[in-house]
Amino acid sequence: MSRLLTLLGLELRQPLLLLSVLLALPLYLFARRSGGRIVFSSLRLLPATHRGWRVRLARLPAVLLALGGLCLGLASAGPRIPDRSTRVRKQGIAIMMVVDISGSMRALDLSEPGRERTRLDAAMEVFRHFVAGGRGLRGRPDDLIGLVSFAAYADTRCPLTLDHDNVLRAAEGLSIVTRAEEDGTALGDGLGLALERLRESRARSRVAILLTDGVNNRGETTPMQAAELAQALGIRVYTVGAGTNGMAPIRVEDAMGRSFLARVPVEIDEKTLTAIAERTGGRYFRALDADGLRRAYQEIDALERSEIVDQRFARYTELYPYLAGPGLGLITLSLLLSGTLLRRVPA
């Protein structure tokens, strides 16, 4: 019964009181047997008469009484519909996504056949599936998720939240920096900002996923300083190196505004990314293509799974008034009918 109610989106405040609906049957039988009966030795002693409407409706008060009891029994169990937008969980995982938006993320080496896309586009598509599910990923409906971006400077795009639509909107709004003074890879600052956001969380497990395609060359915090802070806070860091080393295709425009593909040098500091992951108890993943990027998130998804031990909702729509009111009305109508139009004699 509880599983059926869950499928219907209902909850019971007092599930055990649902057993009171079983009283409807004995209530009906009692009402049928009470009063209004004359015992004859033989039906032949009664004159043959036509069965009027009162005779046909003789059982109606008992039926109404039983239905009223059934409604009151259901109402006593406290049926209600939880407001899903106010879901609160006591335990879960807090995950901060830390993504590089420097100029090198314009490289197209993570494109799929017949579909050109930048490294950032590919990363955010897999991140969307990581959060909401799809393409081999189960989704993270039970986890707090936030988003930090970095190039020369780090910025919180979305704090940790269960409102995953908001996180995904923030991810869709990311764009690669275009101004030279904003370009660069402040890897340590990006990770450090994510750690500050995770520090504030009371989740029993806290994780950062750092995705970059370059080498730290900006910022005030070094990558290993950030790794030491993560270790001290008990936060695991998974690092993902996105794209190829050496030369990568990138779309550029000439002075006439014509677009063409050029090959530019790129470099990923795998040594540092590996060291960060090992220092914090995480893992380093190398994604040379779109499938590799998806596999990296699938492995992280499998590693960071926990059982939610409790979930509550802050607001409910209570349904008992819609059952208690009709229940009392049916009982009242039953008593009125049994005492007037459908009165049975002798009383």
Q: Which domains does the chain have, with CATH numbers?
A: 2-83+315-339 (no CATH), 89-303 (3.40.50.410)
pLDDT on residue 347: 46
pLDDT on residue 105: 94
pLDDT on residue 311: 55
**Which tokens is 295 given?**
């596999």
CB 177 within 8 A of CB 151: yes
**Reduced to 3 states, what is the DSSP secondary structure of residue 266?**
strand
Cα separation values, 272 from 188, 209, 215, 219, Å: 11, 15, 9, 16
**Reduced to 3 states, what is the DSSP secondary structure of residue 5?**
helix
pLDDT on residue 20: 85
**Which tokens is 251 given?**
């779309």
pLDDT, tens digit only, all 347 positions of the chain: 555 555 556 788 888 888 888 888 888 888 777 655 555 555 555 555 555 666 677 778 888 888 988 888 888 888 888 776 666 555 568 999 999 999 999 999 998 888 899 999 999 999 999 999 997 898 998 889 999 999 999 999 999 998 999 999 999 999 999 999 999 999 999 999 999 999 988 888 899 999 999 999 999 999 999 999 999 999 999 999 999 888 888 887 777 777 778 888 888 999 999 999 999 999 999 999 889 999 999 999 998 876 554 556 667 788 888 888 898 888 888 888 777 777 665 54
State the Cα–Cα distance between residues 259 and 119, nearest whole angstrom.
18
State the Cα–Cα distance between residues 69 and 260, nearest whole angstrom.
78
CB 194 within 8 A of CB 95: no
Report which residue type is found at 184.
Answer: G
